[in-house]
Amino acid sequence: MNTPTFYGDHPALDLMNSVMVQDGAVTDTWQSDADVLRWLQAQQLASAKAHAPSGLLEAGRALREVVRTLVLDKKAGKPLQVKALNAAMAHAQRHMVLAEEDGLQLRPHYATATPQALLAPLAEAAASLLVTVDFTLVRKCEDSECVLWFHDQTKSHRRRWCSMAQCGNRNKVASFRQRQQKEA
């Protein structure tokens, strides 16, 4: 039971990143309904009290591929086929709730009876990404073996790696070693 790690700086990109390279192989980190629920809870898109309905894994993987296609098409400047994402958002059944945690806050509360309803906030986050984010700042990690995407929110907008601790460090060490070999 691993705690999900997020590099995308946006839930929709983190959704895409739930397929990643681990030990040199592309790996789907979602292997069960419980994995998807744990991921949604870590993203604060599902309540800690939510239960994983049967079929959540399949519905989550399907939404992930819809989002992946839309992000890649938008990045490539292609027309977007939004029918499937609109269908995913149509499952959202929500109402607003006043919460008294850290002061009074107004929060949406979503129905979670079906896999599609549980995933609806994620579908809405994906739609928000497509509409509100400057896509010149949505990038794939520059490591040639990495498949992760991120939203560059750095001040200089020069982020190159999904994670400095992972790909950034590995590439900087490799670059340093190449320079050392050339000088020798």
Q: Tell me which DSSP letter residue 43 carries.
A: T
Compute the average pLDDT of residues 166-177.
76
- What is the residue-wise DSSP string for 51-104? ---TTHHHHHHHHHHHHHHHHHHHHTTPPP--HHHHHHHTT--EEEEEE-SSS-
pLDDT value at 175 more than 80 = no
Instruction: Quickly name the fold that domain 11-183 has.
Output: Jann2411-like fold (1.10.3300)
Position 184 confidence tier, pLDDT thresholds 50, 70, 90: low
Position 177 confidence tier, pLDDT thresholds 50, 70, 90: confident
Compute the average pLDDT of residues 77-87.
97
- Dig out the tokens for 120 from the structure: 């609806």
- Dig out the tokens for 164 from the structure: 């400095």
So what's the pLDDT on residue 140?
96
Answer yes or no: are the C-beta atoms of 74 and 80 closer than 8 Å. Answer: yes
pLDDT value at 1 more than 60 = no
Share of the chain above pLDDT 90, in %: 75
What's this model's pTM, rounded to 2 decimal places? Answer: 0.88
Compute the average pLDDT of residues 35-46.
96
The full set of domain ranges for the chain reads 11-183
Around 81, how many Cα atoms within 13 Å sit in the side-chain half-sphere? 6
Distance (Å, whole) CA 139 – CA 152:
7
Least confident of 63-77, 117-131, 151-165: 151-165
Q: Collect all residues with Cβ–Cβ distance below 8 Å to 101 and sequence separation of at least 6.
A: none
pLDDT value at 116 more than 90 = yes
Answer yes or no: are the C-beta atoms of 6 and 43 closer than 8 Å. Answer: yes
Position 137 confidence tier, pLDDT thresholds 50, 70, 90: very high
